[in-house]
Structure 1
């Protein structure tokens, strides 16, 4: 089975089954194992002098392990398609984002608890609009990180490429922060993640725009994307903001400190709530369907 056909099967499997609780309550998820590997190098090497060098060595070592695992499991199409489906996150993302809309309909407090499951910012002081923005921003960014980027790197590098991406993205999410502990040690992981997400971030924006009649506003999306502190995450967020005609980003709190960030698509609606989160979920599925169609066309073209 060729890689595009295998990917089509994996995309459908992930969308249909998601993350079965019966399985992951009995066995560690590969993402959990990757996280444990990152935590081990962090605890073992992130101290003393030359932390940036140690972090670069650790990132390189994790990358080598990821590629080796990918090669080891690329022996037959059946285990490969299962692994690819496991490492995609469309259904899981949809379920988590939809849960925020459902909780927010019962009140702000349940909405805060639900959105805390998918964002790293402070949620204790959020109002309804802030909860909705956080959920929709997470939907857009994780469509790139959890679906489009894995698809892209699987098509480029097969299972080794996919696992390399997931390992790097996991490392960035754990040690890629500009904090006293990780500013130097996590620098290499953060920069590699930026490189690996450069094309997928823009592909995700294009998928969202394409499925919502927004390709004609690509220049405006690009201007909004550049307001974001991330070189890549701003693209899907800017596209989602324009697709739903809402303002995203803006001020938010991290570790008790309120930080001022500009709004993305500042002229969009700011009085938002569960309805707009539901619209974002529909946008996730429309973008997923367009991507699946593209992969299927590729499979037909190359056989």
Structure 2
């Protein structure tokens, strides 16, 4: 192992977040889009429950294996590029390559922009806000009030702060590019298959895999949002059906001092004030702070593991 190896992953994290400011790569070359296309090939929901479960598990395992192989192959080329060059330019070049490969596996700017687009749409009309929100959530938005639209946008921002930023960085720090890639595959599979409807059995493996891989990062994300009370966080995070999404959402509700709810499902920080115009911008600022803190923490973690 060269002396530059411990610095490779921390530098790549910095490169990825800098490149993220430029936006997303084209769909034709975006790995998460490719993962979605692979998952979309399978139509397993009409099969009998045991067959659907086995088919969903096998499809997930095959996809994860393909993602692992491709990411290992790409990461190997980066290591080959670094191996003959122990100088600073060689290390920076390898970090640039690895950071460019990592970037599509996280999406902070897109997440923040989409959340603020809901606020901009609400400034036009409630219907425009509902329609914009429908791009971000799976729930029916047609009857939501203006307050409920903002609540849902803040909840989505908090939940996806973990799914789209902190969790990929966590698994990257642990296992490099394959770790981030497999996590994003698991999260994409859960988003496409993990529903309690006709897809339940075919998506059960995907849902459980995402629960396992998101368990620790979701709690870390909640802490990075710096909630004012850990006791309140422990209490509120358990109110959602998901074992993980409640943590960053509860942390955001407590930090904002606002009540966040999904009608008929859960209410977080019920004693908080109703969401107001301007709260989305405040939530984005808090999430940005968590991204910076999380990136620094994951960079230090990656360095410490390899030093």
TM-score, with length taken from structure 1 = 0.88
Partner deviation per Cα, 1:50-105 (whole Å, 9 max, x = no partner): 11111111111111111111101102134321121121110010110111112212
Residue number in structure 2 paired with 1:255: none
Structure 2 counterpart of 1:236, from 245, 248, 252: 248
Residue number in structure 2 paired with 1:146: 164
For 1:32 and 1:294, how far apart are their aligned partners in 2?
28
Residue number in structure 1 paired with 2:35: 34
Kept in 2: contact 1:115–1:123 (CA 8 A): yes
Instruction: Give the unaligned 5+ runs of structure 1.
Output: 252-259
Residue number in structure 1 paired with 2:22: 17
Residue number in structure 2 paired with 1:268: 272
Residue number in structure 1 paired with 2:81: none
Kept in 2: contact 1:18–1:91 (CA 8 A): yes
For 1:292 and 1:54, how far apart are their aligned partners in 2?
37
Residue 193 of structure 2 corresponds to residue 187 of structure 1: no
Partner deviation per Cα, 1:100-138 (whole Å, 9 max, x = no partner): 112212221221122112111111111110100010000
Shift of the 129–13 alpha-carbon distance from structure 1 to 2, 3 Å rule, reads same
For 2:8 and 2:34, how far apart are their aligned partners in 1?
28
Helix, strand or coil: the match of 1:8?
Answer: helix
For 1:290 and 1:105, how far apart are their aligned partners in 2?
32
Kept in 1: contact 2:257–2:273 (CA 8 A): yes
Post-superposition offset of 1:298: 4.4
Residue number in structure 2 paired with 1:293: 296
For 1:143 and 1:81, how far apart are their aligned partners in 2?
19
Post-superposition offset of 1:156: 1.1
Instruction: Give the unaligned 5+ runs of structure 2.
Output: 1-6, 79-93
Residue number in structure 1 paired with 2:117: 99
Partner deviation per Cα, 1:162-219 (whole Å, 9 max, x = no partner): 1111111111001111112x1111110000000000011001000001xx6x2xx112
Post-superposition offset of 1:297: 4.1
Residue number in structure 2 paired with 1:48: 47
Residue number in structure 1 paired with 2:148: 130
For 1:157 and 1:184, how far apart are their aligned partners in 2?
30
Helix, strand or coil: the match of 2:225?
Answer: helix
Shift of the 198–11 alpha-carbon distance from structure 1 to 2, 3 Å rule, reads same
For 1:48 and 1:131, how far apart are their aligned partners in 2?
36
For 2:189 and 2:301, how far apart are their aligned partners in 1?
31
Residue number in structure 1 paired with 2:90: none
TM-score, with length taken from structure 2 = 0.87
For 2:301 and 2:35, how far apart are their aligned partners in 1?
30
Kept in 1: contact 2:218–2:248 (CA 8 A): yes
How many positions carry a matched residue from both structures? 281
Residue number in structure 1 paired with 2:14: 8
Residue number in structure 2 paired with 1:257: none
For 1:274 and 1:88, how far apart are their aligned partners in 2?
28
For 1:166 and 1:300, how far apart are their aligned partners in 2?
22
Residue number in structure 1 paired with 2:100: 82
For 1:47 and 1:109, how far apart are their aligned partners in 2?
35
Post-superposition offset of 1:300: 6.6
For 1:250 and 1:109, how far apart are their aligned partners in 2?
18
Partner deviation per Cα, 1:259-280 (whole Å, 9 max, x = no partner): x12310000112x233111111
